[in-house]
Amino acid sequence: MNAHDAAAAAMCTAPDVEIQGPTGELRGRDAVQLLAQTFMTAFPDNEWLEAHQVASGDTVVTEYVLEGTHSGALQTPMGALKPTGRRVASRACDVSRVRDGEIYSAHLYWDNLALMSALGIVPVPLSIPRAPAVWRRGPTDDADPTASEDLARRLHDALNAHDLDTVCDLAAEDLEVVAPTIEAQGRDAFRSMVELYMQAFPDIKWHVMHQISAGDTVVTEQLVEGTHQGPFVTQQAEFAPTNNTGLTRVCQVLRVRHGFIESVHLYWDHLVLMQTMGAFS
């Protein structure tokens, strides 16, 4: 990818590779090459900066920051976006599974709302934090993965029980929170983010699809679903309940230290959520 060789990137994958991303599902090497070339064309100087990577069994999870200048046409499901000349830095996460020396499955997570905001295209002003290339602290490989998995399980149970106090008790006081529209520290910031979604989607549930752990890190792919039955209040606008049901894929990267969650990085497409609430047509 960093050599801007879309064909070579495609040859790292199996002929029937499955690709899941914010905009849908693709299959086959030709689709991989087309997707890679789409970004290379739109951002000719693009660079993929690896921020964090863990591996367990056949699965490799990589957190990236994609940086580049929008100086080429960006092909989207809505049509081509003309070059804006803007420089962007966008977070992304890749959950790849390998078999016989080839990637046979890749789940890609990034936030199209953040990307469209950086390009000045979304119709409402948004405050999106700039994506850092390096997180606050590197992983600890010699940590006990069993303890990390237990803490991730307790967080999942507390979220599905809508037990906000227990959710926050599991977090370190200086917890680092990185999500599509937030980059903050502290339990209060974590509480406010979780409470926002619990209030807007009172029946919200998190379903685990796939999970790996390595050292102090636990990565969980989830399906999150809920009905928009409560107010969703942001700095940009307040969205009244629509009773629309939303379903989205979320990748959660937790790091654990001294029995508490030290950092939580969340990846999902916020654009889908805002469409659920009728923000965009």
For residue 139, which of 67, 51, 237 has the smallest C-alpha distance? 51
- Residue 276: the pLDDT is 73
Q: Token pair of 231, please? A: 């107010």
For residue 191, which of 199, 230, 127, 246 has the smallest C-alpha distance? 199
- Across the range 44-68, mean pLDDT stands at 93
Which tens digit of pLDDT belongs to each residue from 169-192? 999 999 999 988 788 899 999 999
CATH numbers and ranges of domains, the chain: 6-118 (3.10.450.50), 145-276 (3.10.450.50)
Contact yes or no for 94/64 (Cβ under 8 A): yes
Which tens digit of pLDDT belongs to each residue from 62-73? 999 989 999 999
259 contact partners, CB below 8 Å, separation of at least 6: 147, 151
Binned at pLDDT 50, 70 and 90, residue 144 comes out as: confident
Contact yes or no for 266/224 (Cβ under 8 A): no
Task: Name the percent of the chain lying above pLDDT 90.
Answer: 67
Binned at pLDDT 50, 70 and 90, residue 133 comes out as: very low
Contact yes or no for 67/55 (Cβ under 8 A): no
Longest dimension (CA), the chain: 50
Contact yes or no for 167/195 (Cβ under 8 A): no
Which of the two residues, 2 and 234, has the higher pLDDT score?
2
Which tens digit of pLDDT belongs to each residue from 74-98? 987 778 889 999 998 889 999 999 9
For residue 136, which of 250, 48, 257 has the smallest C-alpha distance? 257
**124 has pLDDT over 80:** no
